[in-house]
């Protein structure tokens, strides 16, 4: 976890990264230091046959403040929603994520029904050399560099577990307390499948990295208003 000094007069904010991501993806998030203290919850390696609810409880046990703000990105948004069952929160915010399985794209519904997620080659994200094979031109290489930064957890067991639990998430009714920030150019979770969001114009699935100022301002607005 990225720690800050505990300061009771400041609002505690806990961030949960996206699938396989680390604290680096929050480098462009700016929250005023006179108002906020913030922490990043690094991913834990799941136990053998550990359920998502059990994993979420372990993650929630690392939140050391009552009335904290919890912010989850992508799969981290799913985990944050599960964590909220064990916490008293000031705000629950998800970014580039989904609130129910109905908001997932058709391909993920297909993957769940056919169990095709077992065929996903998680080895491909374990090595930068493997990913570079798919780089075609300068734009692709630039995008690849962003995704390389986004994907920093290389434990294969974690990756298999996380992909399975993302695809097979069972929630069908949205938590009304969730505040959802989403980009209108998100190709992983297309916005047309999603209801009740605060939209980031030209925001992609990795807008937490390349639209940090916009996302930061939205987080502040949600917390302070």
Report which of 99, 88, 112, 218 is spatially closest to residue 165, judged by C-alpha positions.
112
Q: Please count the structural domains in the chain.
A: 1
**Confidence (pLDDT) at 21:** 82
**E strand intervals along the chain:** 11-16, 36-40, 68-73, 89-95, 178-183, 198-200
- Give the tens place of pLDDT for each residue, 49-77: 999 999 999 999 999 999 999 999 999 99
- Give the tens place of pLDDT for each residue, 160-179: 898 889 988 999 999 999 99
Across the range 137-166, mean pLDDT stands at 69
82 within domain boundaries? yes
d(CA 14, CA 224): 16
Report whether pLDDT(81) > 60: yes
113 within domain boundaries? yes
**Confidence (pLDDT) at 130:** 47
Report whether pLDDT(196) > 80: yes
CB 73 within 8 A of CB 18: yes
* Range picked from 101-105, 136-140, 147-151 for highest mean pLDDT: 101-105
5 within domain boundaries? no
Domain range for 41: 11-224
3 within domain boundaries? no
**CATH number of the domain that residue 199 is part of:** 3.40.50.1820
4 within domain boundaries? no
Q: What is the average pLDDT value for the chain, to the nearest integer? A: 84
d(CA 77, CA 82): 9
């Amino acid at each position: 976890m990225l720690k800050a000094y505990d300061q009771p007069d400041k609002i505690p904010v806990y961030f949960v990264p996206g699938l396989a991501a680390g604290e680096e993806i929050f480098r462009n998030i700016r929250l005023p230091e006179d108002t906020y203290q913030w922490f990043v919850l690094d991913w834990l390696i799941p136990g053998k046959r550990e359920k998502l609810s059990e994993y979420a409880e372990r993650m929630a046990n690392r939140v050391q403040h009552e009335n904290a703000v919890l912010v989850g990105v992508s799969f981290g948004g799913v985990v944050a929603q599960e964590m909220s069952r064990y916490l008293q929160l000031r705000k629950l915010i998800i970014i580039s994520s989904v609130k129910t399985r109905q908001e997932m794209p058709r391909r993920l519904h297909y993957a769940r029904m056919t169990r095709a997620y077992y065929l996903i080659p998680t080895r491909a994200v374990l090595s930068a050399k493997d990913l570079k094979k798919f780089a075609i031109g300068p734009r692709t290489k630039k995008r690849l560099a962003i995704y390389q930064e986004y994907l920093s957890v290389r434990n294969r067991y974690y990756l298999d577990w996380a992909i399975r639990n993302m695809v097979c998430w069972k929630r069908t009714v949205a938590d009304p307390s969730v505040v959802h920030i989403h980009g209108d150019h998100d190709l992983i979770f297309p916005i047309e499948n999603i209801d009740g969001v605060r939209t980031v114009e030209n925001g992609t699935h990795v807008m937490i990295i390349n639209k940090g100022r916009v996302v930061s301002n939205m987080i502040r607005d949600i917390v302070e208003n």
